[in-house]
């Protein structure tokens, strides 16, 4: 995982839980990795996760 700048054109998707007042996260897929960034501060870059890291993150969330 590492913080990077968005030097390529990614298709960012905003979370369905986002709202105009609070903002939220955006995600994009790129070269076998999931990228996550703050939707209100996109200039700060993003965090990139491998497929294994992303799956480990989602596992407890999707068990509900």
Tens-level pLDDT at each residue, the chain (64 residues): 455 555 557 889 987 777 766 778 899 998 889 999 998 888 899 999 999 999 998 888 777 6
- Whole-model pTM: value is 0.69
pLDDT at 35: 92
φ, ψ (nearest 5 deg) of residue 45: 95, -160
* d(C-alpha 26, C-alpha 3), whole Å: 14
**Structural Rg of the chain based on CA atoms:** 12
């Amino acid at each position: 995982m590492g913080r990077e700048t968005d030097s390529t054109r990614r298709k960012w998707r905003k979370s369905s839980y986002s709202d105009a007042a609070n903002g939220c996260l955006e995600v994009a897929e790129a070269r076998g990795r999931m990228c996550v960034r703050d939707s209100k501060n996109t200039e700060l870059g993003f965090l990139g996760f491998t497929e294994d890291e992303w799956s480990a993150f989602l596992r407890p969330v999707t068990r509900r």
